[in-house]
Chain A
Amino acid sequence: MPTTEEIPMASPIGRDTPRIDGPLKVSGTAHYASDFHFPGLLYAVPVEATIANGRIRQLDTTAAEKMPGVRAILHRANIGKIFRSSLGEGMEGICIERRPPLVDDVIRYYGQYVALAVADTFEAAKAAADAVRVTYDKNKPNVESQLKADDDPPVVATTYGTEKRLQSERGDAEAAFASAPVKLDQTYATPSETHNPIELQGTTAMWDGAKLTIYEESQAIFNMRSVLAQMFGLPQENVRVITKFVGSGFGSKLWPWTHCPLAAAAARKLGKPVKLVLSRKMMFQSVGHRAHTQQRVRLGATPEGKLVSLQQDYAYERSMLDDYHENCGEATSFQYSVPNLRVHFGRAKRNIGSPSDMRGPGAVPGLYATESAMNELADQLKIDPVQLRVLNEPKIDEGLKIPFSSRHYLECLQVGAEKFGWSQRNPEVGSMKRDGLTLGWGMAGAAWVAARFAAAANVELRDDGTARVACGTQDIGTGTYTILAQLTADKTGVPVDKVEVVLGDTSLPEGPVSGGSMATGSVVPAVFDAADNAAKSLMTLATTTAGSPFEKNEPDDLAFESGRVFVKANGPAGGIPFADILRRANVRFVTGSGESKATFEKKKPKFSTHSFGCHFVEVTWQPEIARLRVNRVVTVIDAGRIINPLAGRNQIEGAVVMGIGMALLEHTTYDPQNGAPINSNLADYIVAVNADAPSIDVHFLGYPDKVINPVGARGIGEIGLAGVAAAITAATYHATGVRVRALPIKIEDLLTSSILA
């Protein structure tokens, strides 16, 4: 078994490293996309539809146009041509809401943009947007929360390509279920949830002739470039997207939304830079959300607890025009050993803005359902839920019939149980008490895909002993700047604080999407390759510079380690710092480019690559006041080698807190009458606050997964959220006897508890 000792202690990889961009952020000098200002900048505010289903009858802009400071009210007739984008190869042309904004007068969801006010100031634009009079022919919107699958063909188009609705099948799940001695058949529901990153989305667009520059808080600048190039009929090289910092995204900023082409079209029309920043309300309407799902899970098992059949039939809401697939079956086919399995999905069209990827898309709602079912089965069988999982540990990925690259799920369970003190658990409902509170203990497992996107990077070694690394990826607040510095430092021997990191610009080498927890894993080989190539340039320089101590050597004789060049045969002792070589040659820097290929969605993979984990949760229950709180969480994560444990723990802790929100609080509520997401502000959409954050003990197993990259690092952005809600609902049941199968758990559910003291 590989150990974590392979990389020498001196390496910055694996060391707690404070964010290198931290000082910029806390001093307010980090420029987020909407912090950029330009001479002549105009401000745009969209007019939002106030119905969810119908047609615009009349759009009266007369009053708005006459208001002070107003430059234009743009609408279908005067916005100018915006093309439809289409899906390209790999990570290109991805866009969930494909309909170009304002292209027709049909309203399909509340908050759809119907016009755009542009003015000299934000205030003037907002007042003008409010003054646009829109009348509608209104139909009753369909925002029904009961999901009955629409009549769809067996193969359907989705945002990312076609999908079989029968997602995965082996054996005869139906027959095995029918004859199983022990059965569980339950339906679980998860609500629409809104991402709610604190930084609002927005676009600043400007044209220079036929060239378009966009400042946007994007999680995928190159994809955005390709979509915008299509929408405006431009060659890709004429579009530049810049994203220096992102105030979090949780998936809402992965793909371009309609405000982006609107801002670009307004800038084109008015010949000035235009800034459009969404309101918090708009963030609930038109930039995606986690789809509401309903999942029937059927488990068949032997009395000893061996699974014989697993069926997951899930349905999710989607918008009227778009095909976003909430892939709740993501982890179902491989997480447990079961000979008979069937995963199938259906979809239900609603008058809502399109759902989209939200942290751990698919797997998070999916694992909530399947892990909850496992917990219920354990209770039914009177088997410890940890033991039930141990009993059903697979040897290989039974869905793909290939081995796992690195799976230590059982060790996660064992370490978690031990750290939590799980052996002290009395399984009887309401039986555990402390300080006058009833305790509930629950657990659940987690999984999340691990793979690489294609990535390119550039590394420079400079004559002052510093280095620069450039990559057109993004730091969405997770610590990518720091990771790149650590990787470069590891390879070049330049200390982390002497590495300049440049990200977030499509003029840089193409970097990966900040999504799918894959940015870190993807950049590793590219940066390493770039650093190796920079070292090669350095050695060539060392052997070709007059007066260099290596003038007599061939580049192949030399080695570059810990920042020094030396003759391999003589060992590192006689080495010379690279800066000396550059200065002697009067060269400012040598440079190297590197790249690595994608492994994501590879057609015939040799290994099944996933991260794993588990959560153990303690809730406290105070029946006198129907108060349930999460008090303590132990989370164990098997995500390969952790490059920056400080930032890594931070990711997992944040995800656990988000899981508390998912289990107990968050729910985007659509008004049944006019289809508005009616709690569209941060006072009415309840997320977990600091006071809700329990004690969270995060433990990383740290086994490197060399199938993913040479460091063995998989991603950690999403795995921490998977399973949390199932662990909390299990703990809640243990404390209160109330089994909640539709999230979030509400006080009204808990008031039915018969555990009264």
Chain B
Amino acid sequence: MKTFELSRADDPGQAIAAGAKATTAQQGAEIRFIAGGTNLVDFMKLNVETPQTLVDITHLPFDKIEALPDGGLSIGAVVRNSDLAYHPVVRKNYAVLSEALLSGASVQLRNMATTAGNLLQRTRCMYFRDTAMPCNKRQPGSGCAAITGINRGLAILGTSEHCIASNPSDMNVAMAALEATIHIRGTKGERSMPIADFHLLPGSTPERETVLEPGDLITHVTLPPPAPGSRSLYLKLRDRTSFEFALASAAVVVTVAGGKITRARVALGGVGTKPWRSPEAEAELTGQSATPAVFQKAAAAALRDAKPQSQNGFKVELAKRCLAHALKLVTQTA
């Protein structure tokens, strides 16, 4: 770990002004906001992140979960993952989000972790963590040790020849299926975008993971009102029963009416370089009856473009089973 300065932001403007002095908000940022610190500090200890300045944003007034007039929900950037998971409205209207959060990490970590921190958590690729190894994400142009090395846990969707790192977040997958909107305040004012546009594919610039620019502060995330009659669910598959990242996961939000699926939102985790929304699966589901054959077609569609590496080919089949089973469970009449 390198020596750094820690300051505390008492209002958003202060944080944004401080952050704006950095040359990048991506890999190599000299100034970082620190929220729960559960991801950032880990990487600082490994010298993967070497910020000179940390700005503590946990005192900013973004710690509320509030109902929106349209029936949706606003979630502050520094709301703790535990508080979000156990919020009564989240449990009632957005079960998939609560389940995704509770499937992640451990109680202690969830008590520290925040909404924005979770959105921005970085890959678990083991080479990204080891500064002695080549890694295009950590050190652009140095190569990708995972493609030629150990890649069992990494992505099969959205990869490039430069990087196959998976986005490890469970929360993000639920938010993708819920079509969340990310709200950002920066030097040029406020802007917002669907979560689908927030994370970037690695392409030839895997060091760029999001649209964030220096000074950009995530203030909150909003969820649209729950689709009438919809049910949602998160299913996470992994080697052990708890406290492990997903090998494959599925977030599904489905409405069934008159025996037909009238609306479906599907996102996959553990397999994509970003939270992986699957319009292909959604298209296969919409207008169809809720049957295993339809679920399997949807699963096949979601994985059609999968590009397995030397050790993670099994994820294609695993993700298919995960999605098909999640769809079965969510459409089962109670």
Residue-wise, chain B 220-263 has the 8 Å CB interface mask toward A (1 for contact) of: 00000000000000010101111111010000000000000000
Interface secondary structure of A, over-half rule: loop
Residues in chain A near residue B150, CB distance under 8 A: 669, 671-672, 678-679
CA gap between A96 and B321 in the complex, in Å: 47
Interface-side segment among A8-16, A181-189, A240-248, A746-754: A746-754
Q: Does A626 contact B (CB under 8 A)?
A: yes
Let me know if B325 is at the binding interface, CB within 8 A.
yes
- Which A residues are CB-close (under 8 A) to B332? none
Cβ of A676 and Cβ of B132 under 8 Å apart? yes
Q: Which residues of B contact A51 (CB under 8 A)?
A: 132
Please tell me if the beta carbons of A678 and B130 are within 8 angstroms of each other in the complex.
yes
* CB within 8 Å of B: which A677-697 residues: 678-679, 681, 683-684, 686-692
CB neighbours of B242 from chain A (8 A): 689-692
Instruction: Say whether B318 contacts A751, CB under 8 Å.
Output: yes
Closest A residue to B237 using CB positions = A625
Stretch from A122-130, A154-162, A287-295, A387-395 forming part of the interface with B = A122-130
CA distance A139 to B328 in the complex (A): 53
Q: For the complex, would chain B's binding face be called helix, strand, loop or mixed by DSSP majority?
A: loop
Verify A683–B124 contact, CB threshold 8 A: yes
Residues of B contacting A50 with CB < 8 Å? Answer: 132
Interface size class of A (residues with CB under 8 A): 35 or more
For A624, give the chain B residue with the smallest CB separation. B325
- The CA-CA distance from A624 to B325 in the complex, in Å, is 7
Within 8 Å of chain A (Cβ to Cβ): is B126?
yes
- Contact partners of A672 in chain B: CB under 8 A: 148-150
Residues of A within 8 A of B317 (CB): 626, 751
Check: A568 CB closer than 8 A to any chain B CB.
no
Is B149 touching A748 in the complex (CB atoms < 8 A)? Answer: no
Whether the Cβ atoms of B239 and A127 lie closer than 8 Å is no
Contacts of B239 in A (CB 8 A): 664-665, 686, 746-747
Asked whether, in the complex, the Cβ of A127 is within 8 Å of the Cβ of B318, the reply is no
Question: Which residues of A in the span 609-654 have a Cβ within 8 Å of any Cβ on B?
Answer: 624-627, 629
Please indicate the chain A residues that have their CB under 8 angstroms from the CB of B240 in the complex.
664-665, 686-689, 691-692
Judged by a CB distance under 8 angstroms, whether A674 is at the interface is yes
Asked if B244 and A127 make an inter-chain contact with CB atoms under 8 angstroms apart, the answer reads no
Would B1 and A123 count as touching, CB distance under 8 A? yes
Q: Is A673 an interface residue, CB under 8 A from the partner? A: yes
From B3, B133, B321, contact of A624 by CB (8 A): B321
- Least Cβ–Cβ distance between B168 and chain A, in angstroms: 10
B91 at the interface (CB under 8 A from A): no
Q: Is the pair B235, A691 in contact by a Cβ cutoff of 8 Å? A: no
Q: Which residues of B contact A664 (CB under 8 A)?
A: 239-240
- Chain B contact-residue range equals 35 or more
| Residues of chain A within 8 A of B1, CB atoms compared | 123, 126-127, 130
Contact B132 A624 (CB under 8 A): no
B317's nearest neighbour on chain A, judged by CB, is A751
Given contacts A673-B145, A691-B242, contact A748 B314 (CB under 8 A): yes
Contact status of A689 and B2, CB under 8 A, knowing A130-B47, A671-B145, A678-B150:
no
Across-interface contacts of A684 in B (CB, < 8 A): 124, 126, 153
Decide if B126 touches A127 in the complex (CB within 8 Å): no
Cα A384 to Cα B133 in complex, Å, equals 51
The residues of B that contact A126 with a CB separation of less than 8 Å are: 1
B242's nearest neighbour on chain A, judged by CB, is A691
Min C-beta distance of B271 to chain A, whole Å: 13
In the complex, chain B residues whose CB is within 8 Å of the CB of A747: 237, 239, 247, 314, 318
Asked if B324 and A674 make an inter-chain contact with CB atoms under 8 angstroms apart, the answer reads: no
Interface residues of B in 129-149 (CB under 8 A from A): 129-130, 132-133, 145, 148-149
In whole Å, how far is A353's beta carbon from the nearest beta carbon of chain B? Answer: 16
Is B127 an interface residue, CB under 8 A from the partner?
A: yes
Q: Could you tell me which residues of chain A, from 119 to 174, have a CB within 8 Å of some CB in chain B?
A: 123, 126-127, 130
Nearest CB in chain B: distance from A566 CB, A: 58
* Contact assessment for A678 and B324 in the assembled complex, using a CB-CB cutoff below 8 Å: no
In the assembled complex, the Cα of A735 lies from the Cα of B130 at a distance in Å of: 39
Question: How far apart are A492's CB and chain B's nearest CB, in angstroms?
Answer: 45
Determine the distance from Cα of A627 to Cα of B248 in the docked complex, in whole angstroms. Answer: 12
B322 close to A (CB within 8 Å): yes
Q: Are B145 and A127 in contact (CB under 8 A)?
A: no
- Nearest residue, chain B, Cβ from A684: B126
B149 contacts A625, C-beta separation under 8 Å: no
Shortest distance from the beta carbon of A415 to any chain B beta carbon, whole Å: 29
Pair B237/A678 contact, Cβ less than 8 Å: no
Evaluate whether A676 and B241 lie within 8 angstroms (CB atoms) in the complex, with A126-B1, A684-B124 already known: no
Most buried by B among A123, A127, A676, A681: A676
Provide the residues of chain A in CB contact with B321, threshold 8 Å: 624-626
In the assembled complex, the CB of B199 is this many whole angstroms from the nearest CB of chain A, namely 21
B241-A692 in contact (CB<8A): yes
Tell me which residues across on chain B come within 8 A of A678, comparing CB atoms: 126-127, 130, 149-150
Q: How many Å from the CB of B234 to the closest CB on chain A?
A: 13
Residue of B nearest to A679 (CB): B126
**A127 close to B237 (CB less than 8 A):** no
| Contact indicator B324/A629 (Cβ below 8 Å) | no
Chain A residues within 8 Å of B328, by CB: 624
B324 touches A624 (CB 8 A): yes
Q: Specify which chain A residues have a CB less than 8 angstroms from the CB of B245 in the assembled complex.
A: 683
Query: Within 8 Å CB of A692, what residues of B?
Result: 240-242
A65 to chain B minimum Cβ distance, whole angstroms, is: 17
Min CB–CB distance A356 → chain B (angstroms): 24
Chain A residue at minimal CB-CB distance from B2 = A127
- How far is it, in angstroms, between the C-alpha of A665 and the C-alpha of B240 when the chains are bound? 7
A671 touches B47 (CB 8 A): no
Whether the Cβ atoms of A674 and B133 lie closer than 8 Å is yes
Cα A130 to Cα B318 with chains together (Å): 40
> Can you give 26 A-B contacts (C-beta < 8 A)?
A51-B132, A127-B1, A130-B47, A625-B237, A625-B322, A626-B237, A627-B237, A629-B241, A669-B150, A671-B149, A671-B150, A672-B149, A673-B149, A674-B132, A676-B132, A676-B133, A678-B126, A678-B127, A678-B149, A681-B129, A686-B244, A687-B240, A688-B240, A689-B243, A747-B314, A747-B318
Additional A-B contact list (16), CB under 8 Å, known A127-B2, A664-B240, A671-B150: A50-B132, A51-B132, A130-B1, A130-B47, A625-B237, A625-B322, A673-B145, A673-B148, A674-B132, A676-B132, A683-B124, A684-B153, A686-B240, A689-B241, A691-B240, A747-B239
Give the 5 A-B CB pairs with smallest separation, nearest first: A50-B132, A748-B314, A691-B241, A691-B242, A624-B325
